Structures are given as structure tokens and as C-alpha cells.
Amino acid sequence: MREANRGWLPGIGGIIGVLLLLALLYGSREAANPTSPASPSTGKSSTGARATKQAVRVIAGSPRITGTVSNEHGPVAGVRVSASRVEPGETLSELPCPADATEASSPRERPLPWTECGHRFEGEIQARVATREGEAHVLAETTTAQDGSFVLDGLTEGIVTLWALGEQGAAKQPDVATGSQDVALLLEEGVVFTGVVQEKGDAGPIAGARVTVFSRGHTRFFDALTDASGHFRVGPLPATDYAVLITAEGWTSLFFTGAHSLKYQPLWLERPVRVTGQVVSAQGAPAAGVDVMLTATLFDTRRRFTTTDATGRFTFESAHPPPHTLFAQTPSRDAFAVFRSKESDPPVEPVLQLEPAVFLQGTVRDDAGQAIVDARVTARSNVEGAIASGEAFALTDAEGHYRLGPLMTGAHSLGVQAAHHLDLPSDEQSIDARTEPLDFTLTRAVSVEGILVDTDGQPLPGRTVSLRRGTGFRWERDREEETVTTDEAGGFVVDARREGEGALFLEEDDLVTERLEVRIPSRDVRFVVRRGGEVSGILLSANGVPMEGTRVTLWSAGKLDIDNRTDLTDGHGRFTLRGIPSGHFMVEASFQTDALEVIATQPVEVVEGQRVDGSLRFPEGRTVSGIAVDPTGRPLEGARVRASIPSEDTPNWQQGRGFCGNGQPEGVRTDKEGRFVLKNLSAPRYDLFVWLEGHDFDPVHSRGGTAVKRRWRIGEEAQDLRLILKRSPVLRGRVVDEGGQPLTAFSVNGSRVTSEDGTFEQPPGPSEGRRLVVRALDFAPLERTLTLPDEGDLDVGVLTLSRGRTVRGVLHDARTGALFTGRGAASPPSRVRVQIQQAGATRALTLQQVVPAPDGTLVFKHLPATALTLRLEVDGYLPLQRTLAAEEQTFKDVLDPGASVEFQVRDTRGQPLASTVVLLEADGTSHVHEAPQGMVRVQALPPGLYWMQAEPVDKDSEERFRPEPLRIPASGPVAVTLEALKEGSTLHLNMADDIDFALLIPGPVPFPESLQATGLLQKQSHPMQWRDGPPKVATFQHLPGGRYTLFAMGRNGDRLHREELEVPTVGEHSRDVRAVWRPLEP
């Protein structure tokens, strides 16, 4: 079954039990708004944006607005223009959350908009949208004349938002004062909502479903009815944030709180069911006024709420079919009940009996047994289907005692925090009325205490400060000790496990990202941070129209993702980026179309304490059209065409930035005539990606571009593209047994096939190394090499599978001569891992795990009667490979244990050190062995040259080990001692800003041939300590004197700097490194 609704962000669906909640929270809407807008007139499936009609009363002598509507070609006639105004407490976009609508566990400083109210409030939003309540008041509307002019009469004094909607595009202009003259509205392409509404499972279209698209800010409604095929189209609409409600009589509904202009997505509705039941108390009495929540299947992730009546009964109308979870909770949260149904369960009216909540109590002490005051004990319910209620917490009293609750019975995540103590990690605990008091012991910590202030000495409350061990990379999150929020006076206490060097970090959007090296523990630390500079401006489209809701990012060349700032433009296209250090930056704005990501950039120089104008305008770009056809010239509908800037044309600061949307654009689709249009092409060249199911793109015979490696590239001169797509070849055949009877269940190249007559038909797979492998239960696999024709399909005819042969073998230990049975005194039998492939083949035909019989016999059934190669792997022995002739049915062989290598790891004092020993083969294969007591014995290592290195288990350890070569013989004992470095010189390398990593390898080492080879070099590098700076410093300690090769790398990893250094035997030395970059091959 294919996935539906992919790409849409689902919210609560259906109108369920919301009228009671509506009345409780806001009272009667009819009484509050006696002149509410009339319902829209119904019509055909929309082919454009149709705003909901409201009765507009024109008052003589009232203010008016005049203006013109145009696009890039000039004035546009027939465009619908309207002026609307929001009303606080009435328009959806102006509705605050009810006091209990959110799941926050702390009071809010200001009312939240409805989009942040949580699941409980979404039901009311749907009810209002379904009855056309909550739209901004439309004060006047008209249609543009032949010269594009319009006059909006009958306005009242104040500020309005203008909307222009037409087939040629859409425009929106906020904050227009009534009485304004000559207002210019410029149509943009806008967004279009299209799709098809179907019965769940693609069972058929649903005609007459109402699709309501409404703007989340300054709410306006735009409607369409699905046609006979279930299709709808709403738009073009101005580019802003929208939500979508889909309803149909006799069907469940769909609600998307955040929807984009996504196309080609099937939207499924189901036949609704009525869910009723009763909630009773623990004594069996009806429980009135209890909150009940219904959640349904994974397909319907929404939650519905209602409240029990005086008899304890509840009803959910128009719910999705089961399975369901019903959760009941008293308003005081002191009693709960849950009921779960399965998909196959018959309809029932469940009775939910409330179970009293429980309290968890206990004591929090330190590791010396002393009570801890004001320790915070938290609990978050993990009960599936429960009403989210945030995090419950309690503080300990003077005796360290806490009482936490009320809590529902079931699993909870518990945590304990206290200043100057190490936090207890969150732990899941099942809690019920029988749970004994739960005591906690916190380990005393070493702490860094201080105050966070700005450069004027003003405390900064409510800011996030983190402490990390060492002085290395800022992104080494695994070294993070604790993150805290500064108090009202800017104070902080950050706890750590042990003493040593550390660094405080502050990463806030409006402050310069700062780093302060500290000694752990420390007191009276004064962490001074800078407010930095500011980049602000206005983002305009190519036509000069302010762009709303577009992402603007500030990048710093040479420090990708470091100090970047991001903002979304407001309704006037304005953005502000703060907390920027002095330096050169690049402001980037981006938005995504079906075909490509459109980017605008502007270099800026920032000076701290100053504001810089970083206004942007998207380039006009060029438009390229084309057609997709098959080799005969027949147009192909539904082919997807996507464009992207070649990676080699992307500047360093942009490398690895990803896409502004959710992944790559899916591509513009060709129409019925096979035609497509690519707009907004502003780069000198693009790579095109073409895809159509069941077809292969043919770059050689396509016109308008050039084949570059595996891509097809177009330049600035490209026009009238002709894309050729050939039908993908089909591999077909028929599978039978030795008697000619068809096999009904088998697999072809790993794809399962069920066929009554044994036939199959499927794509042959990748062009490189094409082969045919057919498998069936209790038959020998069949393998053939495929030679595909230049054109057309490949019929392999009748494929006969045989039962194959049975091969038996025995293995002996090469050292003792004993028969290998795989059986020890107490352990279960060892398995022999077997890889079988046909002689000369590059891939395994089959993989098996065989347990030897008690007499040591290995039995392999259903093997092909051809020459085979067997590779056998047994723990504790070297891999064994042997050939098996076509007629052989038995074999004998020996298992070689190879050399036995004992590794001893010693610290600088000569004591055993818990470590991980890493061995690296020349081909990059690594072997990792744990030495928890500083010793590990390893067997069955293939003989050859390795690089070995020890890594302390304790990541905070200052012990360092140098990579060393090790040659392992074919057999015999080998003893190796790895000793921590304690002599030699220290080298500090001051790195240029565009360097983010360094390797120092003994001896002259040539430039690596590929990025993969660079990865192997990392295992040979001397241990390094990195300070992120500024300035960036790589420190190498305990260096034996001699010649070394330095490799420096940027964050993108696509280029490398190499130079050779002569390191003295003793002393502390420093030198600057300026990279001379050389590109790396992939």
C-alpha cells in the first residue's frame, strides 16, 4: 500500500465534540457576532483562488483606496481585489490560546496564537472554519478594469490588508491606510494547492469534498469543491503560511495546521464511526465533567477531546475506524482510566473505570548521606495515549524529602537535578499505588560558578550556558558536562564530574557566540559576551515585491555553520540578524520551487555595535522550456525535471548547506503534451535530473544540454530542451521445477514473486554487473549473467530449478588435529558462517550459518551442481577458502588459528590502562578490541602489516598513544606493549581561519589519491588537541624528533593542504600554517 498524505503536516481532523468546548471557552458566536459572514456559494472544482464571499456594505462618503494591479507584462484586468481587517478575539489569527489549552508546565508571559495551542484547541479551530467563522472582515472588494485599475469604496478609517487574486498570479499588501491613492499591487506567481481526495486505500475518488485553504496570519478563507475525479485546485494565492481543512458529508475530515503548496499527494478520507462510552469512578458511580481523549490509528495521528455529561457518558461523532485509544482524566488530574481497542474488535461501548492517581515520595541525599535541599525531582508520563500534561516536578525540603504528584499509574521518566551535584540521567520507572518510597543519591560535583554579563556589565538572565571538558571543538557535544539557564541576576552554576580544563560556551541568536576557557572548579567567573553587530534589511522578489516567510541566513566564509544566523521575513519582507561578530559575511535568502532552489546572496562587512543594511533582491533569472518524449517523439506526461547548481560551482561557504525546504525539490512535472517550464534560473549552468517511472533518461540523444559524467548539464544558452526517455527494459521469464511444473513462490534478484503459472516480469536492475539469481525454498539457486539488448526487453525463457546436491564436510584444528565440533563445555554450539559463490563470480550466491553435527559434520543442502567457492568463517580461526568441484559431495579441511597477539596497554606511570586497541589493515579494514584491564589477547588476525593505536576508555584521560606499525606473522605468539607518550617535544600549529582539522604523520607521506585514502591517514596521525579559537590551534605533544607530514583540511573535506615539517627532539615550538589547497578526488 502506498503512503498517503506524505509531505503534508497533519493536525487534528474532523469536527468532534468541539461545540461544547466552543461554548465554554468563548460563548455563543452568534451572540458575539450577529453580522458574521455568509456562507460561500457552492460551485465547481476551483480553477483559481476563490475567497469566501462576505456581504459588503458601502457607506456613502466613506474612505476609499485606489490603485492598479499589474504583472511583469503590464496592467492586468479581471483580478479580484479586496480589503480586509482582523478583529482581536474574533479573527482566527488573533485568537489567543485558552488558559488550559497548552501543555506547558509553567505560566506563559503572553498569550500564544492558536497555532501553538496544542491538540485540544484545534478541534475548535476546525469547527469555526467549517462554519466559516473567524475570517478577517472583508470591508470592500472589486475587480480590476481593463487598465488594471481598481477602486475600493465603503471603507472605514484604519489599516487594512489588500489581496489581489487572479489566474495570472496573486499579491498581498499589509498595513495599507484607508484613503491611500495609487497603490501598486504587483502579481507574483503565488502558490497553488492541488491534489486528489480519495477513499482510504485509493478505493476511489470523493466528489464534492470541500477544501478550505486559510491563511494562518490575517485569516482569509479560500475554497474549492472536488470534481468527479476527486481533484481540486485552489490558487494562485499570495505566498504566506496556510492551513487546510478538507470535509465531505459522510466522511472523516483532514486538517493540516501547516500546509505547503505540495502537489500530487493523494488525500485519504474514511467512513466515520461513532464512538460512545461511559466513565465511572473507582466505586462505579457515573463520573461527570471528566475529560476524554480519543486517538486512532497511525494514519490518523490527531486527537479528539470531549467531556462526560451528568451520567458520565461521552460521544465522539465522525471518528476514524478502530483501533482506538480512549483516555479519561479528571480536571484535577487525580484519577485516570484508559481503554484500547483493536482493529478486529466488534463495536462496544466501553466503561472506563477511573483509577486514583498516586504520589511518589522519597528522599534525595548526596554520596556522603547528607540531605540535599531544593533538589528538583521530575516525572514525565510515558503512558501511550495519555493526555499530555507536561513535566511534573517537586522540590526537596530541608530534610531532602519530596512528594511528587498526582501521577497516573504506569511508566514515567524520572530525573533528579541539584546544584553542585551531578544530575541523575532520566530513568524509566513504573509507578503504581504499591510503589515504595524512592530514594535518590546524587554524587557531589565540581562546579563552575559565575555571572553572565554583556560588555556594559549588565547581567543577562534566561540565557543558556554550557560547560564542556577540554578546550577543543565547539561541536564536540559528547564532551558536554551540563547546560543551564542563567537566573534573574545572570548567575549560573554548571556542574562537572571531575577537575581539569574546560570551556564555557554561549550560543544565543542575538549575542555573539562566545567561548571562555575555565578551570574546573572555579568560582566568581565573569563571562562577558558581546552583543555584536546587526544585519537587517528587506527581501524583495525579482519583481520588487517584499517576500513574506522566506528564510534569510548569514554565513561566514571559512567557518561554515559557525556564527550563522537565520530569520524569516515578515509581511513586509523585513528581516533582522543579530549577535554577529566583526568580519566579512554573506547574506543568503532562499526559497524552493517545484524544480529548483532559488538563491539570492549579498556580501556584507559587519562591525560590532553597528547596523548593516543587508537587503536582498532575487535575480530575475531566465526561463527555459522543453519537452519530454520517447524515442519515437511521443510526448510523456508526468516526467519530473529538477535542476541544481553543479557542486563545483558552489562557493566554499555554501558547501554542505543542504536545501531550505524538506529535502530536494521533487521536480516540475510535464503536462499532457510532455511540456515543462523551468523558471528562476539565475546561475550560469545547472545539472538536470529527469525521472519517470518505467523509463530511463537518455542524455546522449537528448538536445539542449551536455552529458557530464552521469549528469546532464545546461548552460545560459539553453532553450527548447528536448529530453528523451526510453522505456526501461523488462526482464521476463518462467520458473519451473525439474518436472516442468511451475513454481508459484520464488524470488528474482531478491524480489519476491508469487505467480500461479511461474511467470515473472520486472526491471533487470543496475546496468553494471547485471546478473539473474532465482531462488526458491528447497531448491538450489540458479545464477546467470545477463546480456541486455540495446533496445527492447529481455525474455530469458523457461528457468528450471533443481533440488541441487547435498555436500558434507568436516574441519580439524590445524594446531591440535582435533575434530572441530563447535561445542564447548558450557557455551552453545558455534556457528560456521559460510559464503558460497560460483567459481569466478564476484558476488556471493548464498550466505548460510551452519551448526556442526555432534560428530563435526557440516551439511550444506541444495547447492548448485557447478564449481563453487566456499569461504568459511569460525570465531577464533582465520577465514578458510576452498573450491568445490561440480561433482564433489564431501570435503575435509583444517582451521588455522593464526598468530596469538597479546596487547598490554600502559600509562605514563607504567600501570595498566583501560583502553580500546584499534588495528588498521592496509585496505582500511579495522579491528577494534576492548582491553578493560589494560590487556587483551587477540587471535585469528590475518597476517600482514597493521597500524595499531590505543585509545583510553576514559575520554577525559590525558594519556596519549602514538600510532605504530605492527607486522603480524602467520602463526605463533606475539607480545606487544603500547606505552603512553611521556617524552618528546610539543608543537603548536596556529591555523588559518579556513582550516578545521589537522593530521601529523611520522615520515614523508604522499598526497592521498582520494577522500577514502584520507580517512586511512587519520588512523596514522599523532594524537592532537584542538582549540577552536580564535585563533585555531592544533597542539601535538610528546613528539619524537624527526620528519613529519602535516595534512590540513577544511570543514567541507573536499580539499587538502600538505607540507613536511622537521620537529625537534625536545622543547615547545610554534608555527603558523597557511593552507595551499589542493582538491581531493571523491
212-262 pLDDT, tens per residue? 999 988 999 999 999 999 999 998 999 888 989 999 998 888 888 877 655
Number of domains in the chain: 10
User: Residue 652 gets which letter from DSSP?
Assistant: G
Interval 364-371 mean pLDDT? 94
Length of the chain: 1082
pLDDT tens-digit series, residues 23-69 = 333 333 333 333 233 333 333 444 445 555 554 555 556 799 999 99
Please tell me which residue, 1070 or 1027, carries the higher pLDDT value: 1070
Task: Give residues with Cβ within 8 angstroms of 463, minimum separation 6.
Answer: 452, 485, 486, 490, 506, 508, 511
Place 1 in a pLDDT band, splitting at 50, 70 and 90.
very low
Please check whether residues 145 and 256 belong to one and the same domain: yes
Place 20 in a pLDDT band, splitting at 50, 70 and 90.
very low
Please check whether residues 583 and 544 belong to one and the same domain: yes
**3-state secondary structure at position 339:** strand
How far is the C-alpha of 989 from the C-alpha of 1001, rounded, in Å? 14
Please check whether residues 378 and 487 belong to one and the same domain: no
Please check whether residues 168 and 256 belong to one and the same domain: yes
| pLDDT for res 220 | 94
Cell of residue 414, nine digits: 524520572
Q: Is the pLDDT of residue 17 over 60?
A: no
Please check whether residues 1054 and 1036 belong to one and the same domain: yes
How far is the C-alpha of 469 from the C-alpha of 480, rounded, in Å? 6
| pLDDT for res 748 | 92
Interval 5-12 mean pLDDT? 36
Neighbours of 993 (CB within 10 A): 17
**Amino acid identity for residue 776 in this structure:** A
Q: Is the pLDDT of residue 467 over 70?
A: yes
Which of these ranges, 11-25, 171-185, 920-934, has the smallest mean pLDDT?
11-25
Strands (E), 39-122: 65-71, 74-75, 80-85
Which range marks the domain in which residue 830 is found? 805-895
CATH code of the domain in which 929 resides? 2.60.40.1120
Residue 5, in any domain of the structure:
no
CA quadruple 133, 137, 142, 143: dihedral positive or negative? negative
- Taking a C-beta distance cutoff of 8 angstroms, is the pair 971, 899 a contact? yes
| pLDDT for res 159 | 95
Neighbours of 477 (CB within 10 A): 9
How far is the C-alpha of 452 from the C-alpha of 465, rounded, in Å? 9
Please check whether residues 832 and 745 belong to one and the same domain: no
Interval 770-780 mean pLDDT? 90
Domain boundary among 598, 617, 636: 617
Domain boundary among 964, 979, 994: 979
User: Residue 563 gets which letter from DSSP?
Assistant: S
How far is the C-alpha of 184 from the C-alpha of 68, rounded, in Å? 5
CATH code of the domain in which 634 resides? 2.60.40.10
Residue 41, in any domain of the structure:
no
- Taking a C-beta distance cutoff of 8 angstroms, is the pair 872, 916 a contact? no
| pLDDT for res 217 | 87
- Taking a C-beta distance cutoff of 8 angstroms, is the pair 224, 236 a contact? no
Cβ-in-10-Å burial (0-12, 13-18, 19+) of 1006 comes to: exposed
CA quadruple 216, 219, 224, 225: dihedral positive or negative? positive
Which of these ranges, 10-19, 396-405, 586-595, 819-828, has the smallest mean pLDDT?
10-19
3-state helix, strand, coil in the chain (%, to 5): 5, 50, 50
Please check whether residues 282 and 264 belong to one and the same domain: no
Q: What are phi and psi of 837, to 5 degrees?
A: -140, 155
| pLDDT for res 110 | 45
| pLDDT for res 476 | 53
- Of 389, 268, 292, give the one whose Cα is nearest residue 13: 268
Cell of residue 214, nine digits: 486559510
DSSP 884-897: E-TT--EEEEEE--
How far is the C-alpha of 546 from the C-alpha of 540, rounded, in Å? 4
How far is the C-alpha of 122 from the C-alpha of 11, rounded, in Å? 8
How far is the C-alpha of 249 from the C-alpha of 299, rounded, in Å? 20
| pLDDT for res 1011 | 75
User: Residue 487 gets which letter from DSSP?
Assistant: -
Please check whether residues 137 and 203 belong to one and the same domain: yes
Mean pLDDT estimate for the chain: 85
Domain boundary among 866, 895, 924: 895
Residues pairing with 966 in the sheet = 946
Please check whether residues 809 and 795 belong to one and the same domain: no
Gyration radius (Cα) of the chain, Å: 35
Q: How far is CA 678 from CA 260, 597, 702, 720, 721, in A?
A: 20, 11, 17, 11, 10
Strands (E), 121-208: 137-143, 149-152, 159-166, 169-177, 183-186, 191-199, 204-205
| pLDDT for res 6 | 34
- Taking a C-beta distance cutoff of 8 angstroms, is the pair 357, 407 a contact? yes
Q: Is the pLDDT of residue 10 over 90?
A: no
Q: How far is CA 43 from CA 226, 253, 500, 897, in A?
A: 10, 20, 74, 81
Please check whether residues 161 and 241 belong to one and the same domain: yes
Output the 3-class SS for 348-393: CCCEEECEECEEEEEEEEECCCCECCCCEEEEEECCCCCCCCCCEE
pLDDT tens-digit series, residues 881-937 = 999 999 999 999 999 999 999 999 999 999 999 999 999 888 888 899 999 999 999
How far is the C-alpha of 335 from the C-alpha of 328, rounded, in Å? 8
Cell of residue 536, nine digits: 537587517
- Strands 686-691 and 266-269, how do they pair? unpaired
Residue 1075, in any domain of the structure:
yes
- Taking a C-beta distance cutoff of 8 angstroms, is the pair 1044, 1003 a contact? yes
| pLDDT for res 46 | 46
123: left (phi over 0), alpha (psi -120 to 50) or beta: alpha
What's the predicted TM-score (pTM) here?
0.76
- Taking a C-beta distance cutoff of 8 angstroms, is the pair 852, 834 a contact? no
| pLDDT for res 442 | 94
Q: Is the pLDDT of residue 660 over 60?
A: no
| pLDDT for res 788 | 77
Residue 11, in any domain of the structure:
no
Locus of grid cell 506563559: 108
- Taking a C-beta distance cutoff of 8 angstroms, is the pair 8, 256 a contact? yes
**Amino acid identity for residue 504 in this structure:** L
How far is the C-alpha of 676 from the C-alpha of 669, rounded, in Å? 7
Place 652 in a pLDDT band, splitting at 50, 70 and 90.
low
Please check whether residues 712 and 747 belong to one and the same domain: no
**Amino acid identity for residue 720 in this structure:** D
How far is the C-alpha of 866 from the C-alpha of 888, rounded, in Å? 9
Give Dmax (Cα) for the chain.
112
Residue 639, in any domain of the structure:
yes
Residues pairing with 605 in the sheet = 584
- Of 128, 141, 161, give the one whose Cα is nearest residue 240: 161
Share of the chain above pLDDT 90, in %: 54
Cβ-in-10-Å burial (0-12, 13-18, 19+) of 619 comes to: middle
Cell of residue 1030, nine digits: 580564535
Q: Is the pLDDT of residue 694 over 50?
A: yes
Q: What are phi and psi of 863, to 5 degrees?
A: -95, 145
Residue 461, in any domain of the structure:
yes
Please check whether residues 174 and 234 belong to one and the same domain: yes
Residues pairing with 96 in the sheet = 113
Q: Is the pLDDT of residue 486 over 60?
A: yes
**Amino acid identity for residue 985 in this structure:** S
CATH code of the domain in which 468 resides? 2.60.40.180
Q: Is the pLDDT of residue 471 over 70?
A: no
Place 1009 in a pLDDT band, splitting at 50, 70 and 90.
confident
Residue 843, in any domain of the structure:
yes
| pLDDT for res 268 | 86
Q: At what angle do helices 18-26 and 119-130 cross, to 10 degrees?
A: 100
Which of these ranges, 59-68, 559-568, 1064-1073, has the smallest mean pLDDT?
559-568
Which of these ranges, 187-201, 281-295, 475-489, has the smallest mean pLDDT?
475-489
